[in-house]
């Protein structure tokens, strides 16, 4: 048999998909094989580079366990996570825009009463975060659930500090008017974990590892699409260069000083900040596939 020429090889591999009975699998694999072969041809991948690539993927796999997912982080910094999000969450009719989940979500955060404090006694800039959960017509959604979590003022999440316990995270519910409120701290910008292969590749590409300051939310209510999003701090130095490409203009909000009267009215110290933001949820569309189930991990972070 004659050896395959470059393009014949691609065709030969694609032809072996003939027996694939799952049409979606066939479509995905054909596209993947075609693009992968074209990539190898485009850059004329050397044997050494091929071998380095295999070693890199192996090292990335070795950094994955139930607490850390280096492949998700790789997907994040290569913009793949946001591309998938953008394709499947095209802001239906006035709903709040979504962004990446990130690796620091923890199932089972403590329930927090309306206006409760999640700052866990940490020093920082006290911030009152409040608003409403509404549908896309502006009607309030009562008893919606909001998971909220944010980074500590030392630029680490609680789960990156073994033994810290739950800090700056909690689960709220809206009242009959759809209102929520929580007492937290102003988030800071922070680097994604750089102690593994993702940190190395960022360095090689001449990229910084920083995310602009943000507060994470997952907003859930029966009959509505689940919303996974952040609120980003206006004025942050990294808004235009978020390492995971997660910033959307509609999610950038002001952390504004509260007047003394405002602060007193809700029991915040003088000089506190506040953020006011209404989330709009889209009604479930039975023709659309919803977001994939959230990762079933207790805490998916790593100190490095
Ligand atoms: C985060 O915001 O927590 C995050 C998102 C993607 C990668 C790393 C961290
Ligand atoms: Fe984050």
Mutation test residue for ligand 1: of 67, 74, 104, the one with most atoms within 8 Å of CB: 104
* Phi, psi of 96, rounded to the nearest 5 degrees: -60, 140
| pLDDT value of position 288 | 66
Residue 297 has pLDDT above 70, yes or no: no
Ligand 1: which atom is nearest the Cα of residue 81?
A: 6
Taking only the tens place, the pLDDT of each residue in 152-178 is 999 999 999 989 999 999 999 999 999
pLDDT class of 291 with cuts at 50, 70, 90: low
Q: Which residue has the higher pLDDT, 209 or 290?
A: 209
pLDDT class of 290 with cuts at 50, 70, 90: low
Mean pLDDT in the chain? 92
What's the average model confidence in pLDDT over 291-299?
A: 47
- According to DSSP, the β-strands at 210-211 and 190-191 are antiparallel
Q: Is 158 in the pocket of ligand 1 (CB under 6 A)?
A: no
277 with 146: CB under 8 angstroms?
no
| pLDDT value of position 9 | 93
Residue 50 has pLDDT above 70, yes or no: yes
The DSSP code sequence of the chain is -PPPPHHHHHHHHHHGGGG---HHHHHHHHHHHHHHHHHHHHHT--HHHHHHHHHHHHHHHHT-SSS--HHHHHHHHTTHHHHHHHHH---GGGPPPP----TT--TTPPB--TTEE-STT--S-EEEEEEEEEETTS-B-TT-EEEEEE--TTS--GGGSTT--S-SEEEEE--TTSEEEEEEE----EEPP-SSHHHHHHHHTT---EE--EEEEEEE-TTB--EEEEEEETT-TTTTS-TT----GGGEE--EEPPHHHHHHTTPPTT-EEEE--EEEPBP-TTS--PPPPP--S------
- Of the given ranges (137-146, 221-230, 281-290), which has the lowest mean pLDDT? 281-290
pLDDT class of 300 with cuts at 50, 70, 90: very low
Taking only the tens place, the pLDDT of each residue in 273-287 is 999 999 999 998 777
Q: Is 211 in the pocket of ligand 1 (CB under 6 A)?
A: yes
| pLDDT value of position 66 | 76
What's the average model confidence in pLDDT over 125-136?
A: 97
| pLDDT value of position 110 | 94
- Which ligand approaches the C-alpha of residue 247 most closely? 1
Alpha carbon nearest to ligand 1 atom 9, residue: 102
Alpha carbon nearest to ligand 1 atom 4, residue: 102
Alpha carbon nearest to ligand 1 atom 3, residue: 102
Residue 37 has pLDDT above 80, yes or no: yes
pLDDT class of 136 with cuts at 50, 70, 90: very high
Alpha carbon nearest to ligand 1 atom 1, residue: 102
Ligand 1: which atom is nearest the Cα of residue 157?
A: 3
| pLDDT value of position 88 | 85
Taking only the tens place, the pLDDT of each residue in 54-91 is 999 999 999 998 778 899 999 999 999 999 999 888 77
**Percentage of the chain lying above the pLDDT 70 cut:** 93
Residue 237 has pLDDT above 90, yes or no: yes
| pLDDT value of position 301 | 45
Alpha carbon nearest to ligand 1 atom 6, residue: 102
Ligand 1 centre distance from Cα of residue 214 (Å):
10
What's the average model confidence in pLDDT over 100-112?
A: 92
Q: Is 168 in the pocket of ligand 1 (CB under 6 A)?
A: no
Q: Is 102 in the pocket of ligand 1 (CB under 6 A)?
A: yes
């Amino acid at each position: 048999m004659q050896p395959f020429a470059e393009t014949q090889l691609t065709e030969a591999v694609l032809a072996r998909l003939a027996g694939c009975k799952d049409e979606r699998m066939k479509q995905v694999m054909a596209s993947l094989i075609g693009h992968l072969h074209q990539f190898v041809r485009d850059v004329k991948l050397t044997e050494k580079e091929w071998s380095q690539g295999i070693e890199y993927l192996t090292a990335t796999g070795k950094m994955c366990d139930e607490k850390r997912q280096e492949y998700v982080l790789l997907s994040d910094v290569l913009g793949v996570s946001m591309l998938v999000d953008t394709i499947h969450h095209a802001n239906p009719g006035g709903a709040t825009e979504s962004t990446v989940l990130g690796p620091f979500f923890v199932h089972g955060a403590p329930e927090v009463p309306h206006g409760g404090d999640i700052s866990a006694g940490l020093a920082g800039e006290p911030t009152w975060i409040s608003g409403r959960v509404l549908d896309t017509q502006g009607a309030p959604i009562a008893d919606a659930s909001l998971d909220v979590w944010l980074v500590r003022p030392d630029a680490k999440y609680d789960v990156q500090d073994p033994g810290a316990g739950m800090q700056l995270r909690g689960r709220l519910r809206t009242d009959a008017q759809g209102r929520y409120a929580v007492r937290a701290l102003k988030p800071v910008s922070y680097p994604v974990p750089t102690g593994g292969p993702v940190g190395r590749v960022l360095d090689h590409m001449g990229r910084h590892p920083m995310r602009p300051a943000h507060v994470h939310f997952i907003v859930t209510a029966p009959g509505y699409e689940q919303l996974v999003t952040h609120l980003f701090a206006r004025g942050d130095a990294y808004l235009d260069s978020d390492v995971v490409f997660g910033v959307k203009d509609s999610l950038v909000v002001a952390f504004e000083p509260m007047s003394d009267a405002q602060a007193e009215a809700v029991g915040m110290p003088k000089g506190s900040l506040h953020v006011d933001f209404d989330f709009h949820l889209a009604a479930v569309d039975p023709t659309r596939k919803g977001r994939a189930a959230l990762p079933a991990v207790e805490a998916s972070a790593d100190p490095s």
